[in-house]
């Protein structure tokens, strides 16, 4: 055994060595000019794919896309015959933590090593974190990714949750008053966070102060709410609501403003909902008229729904063994219990999300890798998009939701989220055609971020067995 002090110094020196930018086999393409030939281009804007295109990447940007482009001398050329390129994903209910359950109260561990790699592996080039548990680790990872010393997507960080009294999660902080909310918004804004998330137990007066303070600092506010209804939150000026309609307390029979959050009663109200009732269509119209963006997180809700998929072998292999066991045990219990309410609420939410989208609402997508596990960074992003297609969107629409729409919400659509000349070279090479079969997203080969190409498979392999630990 080494004395502890020596081990500490050794750890420090290892950190220094790995901080040097060294060639890494995960980096598949790094060249001043990269040309992709014979590509099927899916632009992320919903247009029909263009076949046999040439895409020129230069200086980290998309220089041009066209059918008959001259290949610059000295360019690195990749023939994409039979393959597709689409924008890097911009997904907006992500986290850098994962539920690590051992029988006690709900608990998460920060996944600062595995999750950024998994996101990038699946093609996520921009991610909003939508609620922080270790804010300074999140800030540090954003800095490391930006400096090129860690692999991961461009991060748009959400501050620690703003929950109210009665929170059942020891890692969350209950904001005590409107004044406290204002103070905390300003604190986290100063630290570098660009959005705030209000949570299920936050009452309306503190939510109002949070939104006012955030908007004064140019920060957006999103919410996984419950004590406050969707209609009330829209009236307070919230920018974004999470989880589709699965957190909507508006239609709980007999509900009065300020009643405690109750997820089961929300699911029951969805189960009982007549989808043609004027109340739901009125709410959808209100959200759209107030420019409230809705985040679809179907992949996490699927894990709570009986009769649905179990995690794939690749996902199970990515989990640390104790997390694999707790996931499979809980998955089996949910399927044995076979709750009709869970099944019906999930189906109703899919229907309403599609309706919101068809009515012209800004629908965006995220994974929310929480719950009891089973919805992982990376793999879960693909699943979230597949489920949008099951909900009734076309593959091209689902891709638009997970790329351009996310960029619109984050107000980065002038820089990324679609394949257009002048935008960042954030794109995914897929060995297939996700415009026809959305699951071809799973055939991602190389993910470009700012013009550097990362090997998807090697990124996935680099974190095998680590989710739940690091």
Binding site for Zn ion (CB under 5 A): 131, 368
**Between 241 and 446, whose beta carbon lies closer to Zn ion?**
241
- Phi-psi bin for 130: left (phi > 0), alpha (psi -120 to 50), beta? left
For Zn ion, the nearest residue by Cβ is 368
Q: What is the DSSP letter of 414?
A: T
Report the alpha-carbon distance of residue 120 to residue 153 in Å, rounded.
6
Nearest-approach distance from CB 246 to Zn ion, in angstroms: 12
Per-residue DSSP letters for 35-75? EEEEEEE--SSSPPPEEEEEEEEETTEEEEEESSPPPPTT-
SS3 452: strand
Nearest-approach distance from CB 261 to Zn ion, in angstroms: 15
Report the alpha-carbon distance of residue 219 to residue 411 in Å, rounded.
11
Nearest-approach distance from CB 195 to Zn ion, in angstroms: 12
**Between 131 and 395, whose beta carbon lies closer to Zn ion?**
131
Per-residue DSSP letters for 261-323? P-HHHHHHHHHH--TT-HHHHHHHHHHHHTT-EEEE-HHHHHTTSTTSPPPPHHHHHHB-HHH
Nearest-approach distance from CB 370 to Zn ion, in angstroms: 5
**Between 36 and 141, whose beta carbon lies closer to Zn ion?**
141
Nearest-approach distance from CB 293 to Zn ion, in angstroms: 15
Backbone phi, psi, residue 379, to 5°: -55, -40
Nearest-approach distance from CB 315 to Zn ion, in angstroms: 19
Nearest-approach distance from CB 369 to Zn ion, in angstroms: 8
Angle subtended by helix axes 178-191 and 135-147, to nearest 10 = 20
**Between 199 and 356, whose beta carbon lies closer to Zn ion?**
199
Nearest-approach distance from CB 292 to Zn ion, in angstroms: 18
**Between 232 and 368, whose beta carbon lies closer to Zn ion?**
368
**Between 91 and 208, whose beta carbon lies closer to Zn ion?**
91
**Between 297 and 456, whose beta carbon lies closer to Zn ion?**
297
**Between 368 and 397, whose beta carbon lies closer to Zn ion?**
368
**Between 49 and 131, whose beta carbon lies closer to Zn ion?**
131
Nearest-approach distance from CB 276 to Zn ion, in angstroms: 31
Given the DSSP bridges, would you call strands 33-41 and 124-128 parallel, antiparallel or unpaired? unpaired
Report the alpha-carbon distance of residue 428 to residue 444 in Å, rounded.
7
Would you say how long the chain is, in residues? 470
Cβ atoms of residues 372 and 101 within 8 Å = yes
The number of CA neighbours under 13 Å toward the Cβ of 234 is 18
Report the alpha-carbon distance of residue 103 to residue 268 in Å, rounded.
27
Tell me the two tokens of residue 92: 């907006």
């Amino acid at each position: 055994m080494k004395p502890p002090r020596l081990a500490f110094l050794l750890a420090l020196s290892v950190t220094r060595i790995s901080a040097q930018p060294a060639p890494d086999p995960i980096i598949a393409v790094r060249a001043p000019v990269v040309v992709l030939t014979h590509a099927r281009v899916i632009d992320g804007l919903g247009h029909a794919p263009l076949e046999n295109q040439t895409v020129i990447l230069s200086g980290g940007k998309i220089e041009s896309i066209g059918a008959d482009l001259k290949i610059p001398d000295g360019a690195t050329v990749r023939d994409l015959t039979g393959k597709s390129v689409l924008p890097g994903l911009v997904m907006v209910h992500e986290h850098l933590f994962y539920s690590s359950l051992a029988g006690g109260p709900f608990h998460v561990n920060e996944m600062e090593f595995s999750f950024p790699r998994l996101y990038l592996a699946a093609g996520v080039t921009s991610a909003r974190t939508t609620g922080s548990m270790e804010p300074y680790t999140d800030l540090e990872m954003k800095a490391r990714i930006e400096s090129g010393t860690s692999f991961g997507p461009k991060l748009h960080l959400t501050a620690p949750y703003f929950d109210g009294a009665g929170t059942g999660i020891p890692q969350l902080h209950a904001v005590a008053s409107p004044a406290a909310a204002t103070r905390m918004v300003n604190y986290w804004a100063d630290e570098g966070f660009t959005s705030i998330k209000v949570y299920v137990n936050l009452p309306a007066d503190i939510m109002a102060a949070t939104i006012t303070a955030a908007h004064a600092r140019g920060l957006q506010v999103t919410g996984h709410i419950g004590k406050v209804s969707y209609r009330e939150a829209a009236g307070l000026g919230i920018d974004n609501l999470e989880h589709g309609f699965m957190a909507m307390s508006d239609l709980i029979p007999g509900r009065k403003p300020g009643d405690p959050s109750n997820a089961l009663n929300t699911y029951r109200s969805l189960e009982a909902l007549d989808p043609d009732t004027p109340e739901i269509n009125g709410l959808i119209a209100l959200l759209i008229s107030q420019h409230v963006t809705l985040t679809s997180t179907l992949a996490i809700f699927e894990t709570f729904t009986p009769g649905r998929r179990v995690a794939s072998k690749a996902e199970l292999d990515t989990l640390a063994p104790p997390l694999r066991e707790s996931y499979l045990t809980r998955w089996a219990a949910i399927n044995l219990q076979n709750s009709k309410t869970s099944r019906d609420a999930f189906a109703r939410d899919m229907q309403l999300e599609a309706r919101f989208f068809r009515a012209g609402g800004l629908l965006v997508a995220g994974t929310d890798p929480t719950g009891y596990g089973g919805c992982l960074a990376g793999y879960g992003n693909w699943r979230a998009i597949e489920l949008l297609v099951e909900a009734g969107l076309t593959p091209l629409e689902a891709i638009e939701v997970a790329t351009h729409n996310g960029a619109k919400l984050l107000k980065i659509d002038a820089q990324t989220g679609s394949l257009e000349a002048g935008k960042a070279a954030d794109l995914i090479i897929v060995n297939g055609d996700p415009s026809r079969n959305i699951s071809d997203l799973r055939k991602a080969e190389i993910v470009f971020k700012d013009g550097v190409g990362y090997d998807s498979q090697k990124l996935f392999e680099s974190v095998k067995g680590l989710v739940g630990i690091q």
